Chains A and B, each alone.
Chain A
């Protein structure tokens, strides 16, 4: 049972436009969410995160929105740049308690930004 879902395997946008990547989760105990960017043959790079006490977090061109009632979050990139082309993973922090800080990842969305 996949607890974090990224239903769009790929997304293509034009340079300068907005990229919107979506993520849904099923476990209501998740309370910390992260977005990672990954290039082929490299480890993921952290982009931005959001705690469940917030509904928006912004960092430069990247904004993450969280809708707890819908168990949905999205990453907005604006303006999109060709260098943003990569696979984007949504991740959620495991339930509260103990020292287990493991993350549950979605399957990723391949973003292609066309010049």
Chain B
């Protein structure tokens, strides 16, 4: 258990569906991330939120829409996806800036187990 929880763990959707992936972190961190991991490709950074503001959008198609309502929650809204969007979607969090109490390192990313998405 890393303190970062992703739901659902598995998702199958058609190309016309709308679904959302959820990520919740219980670590008191101030930054959250979405990554995509396709088969036989390195992890690709999609979005970065720092202090609930989106600070990075790595040329991701508009059919992926992130939302960060507070520092503990991050969503990825999906609509009109393509089969090539099938992948493992990973969420991570980190503490950027001043150190946290309790010996946690700053700038270390803690990942969830991911959502395995299949688009039919």
Q: Do A and B come from one complex?
A: no
